[in-house]
Amino acid sequence: MTTMMLDPAIGLLVTASIALLFASAGVHKLRDLQRFEEIFAAYGLVPASARLRLSWAVPLMEIGVAAGLLFDACRPYAGAVGIVLLSGYAAAIALNLRRGHRDLACGCGGPDERRPIAAWMVWRNILLALALAGVLAPWAARPLGLTDAVTVVFGLLTLALVYLCIDQLLGHTQRAAQLRGPR
């Protein structure tokens, strides 16, 4: 039985993309921790006594995941923490959608953005967790060359742009549906 090995260029591309996402999310939250604490509190999932400490730990964990993903020795641990965070975000959004709290800010776009939670955000986080789980598979041992570096750099730029475009498109679609009102 042969074990499936991930090509290191593909592994590096996906890992760098997810690391960029986590770093960006952590930095956005750190820009205004008080606003993130308000968003975090509105989800109603953590007792007030632990909420402040946990809301401050989330952006630090996100930045830790981003950094850890870039080092082979840390990648499995950072990946596991990242999967837990993404799964937790998906669960928190899904639970509040079931509660009917559709006006909560997602907290994913930084303190300046007040985007309400939506079902597509649950699926986005699940897909990101699955992608992160994929890079935890064994990587093939082969040297990376110049072509691989170009592939990773331009692939990272492309994935970042595609992610931002899809995120904006779904956000605009959501806002348009809210303006139309219930049918």
Confidence of residue 131 (pLDDT cuts 50, 70, 90): very high
pTM over 0.75: yes
Q: What's the pLDDT at 95?
A: 95
The Cα–Cα gap between 17 and 74 comes to 17
pLDDT tens readout for residues 78-119 = 999 999 999 999 999 999 999 998 888 887 766 566 778 889
Q: What's the pLDDT at 50?
A: 76
Residue with more model confidence, 10 or 172: 10
Q: Which residue has the tokens 């699940």?
A: 126
Confidence of residue 32 (pLDDT cuts 50, 70, 90): confident
Residue with more model confidence, 174 or 75: 75
Domain residue ranges of the chain, discontinuous segments joined by +:
8-180
The Cα–Cα gap between 44 and 55 comes to 12
* Region class of 3: left (phi > 0), else alpha (psi between -120 and 50), else beta: beta
The Cα–Cα gap between 126 and 147 comes to 31
Q: DSSP character for 118?
A: -
Residue with more model confidence, 164 or 73: 73
Provide the CA 7 distance to its chain's centre, in angstroms.
23
* Whether the Cβ atoms of residue 12 and residue 69 lie closer than 8 Å to each other: no
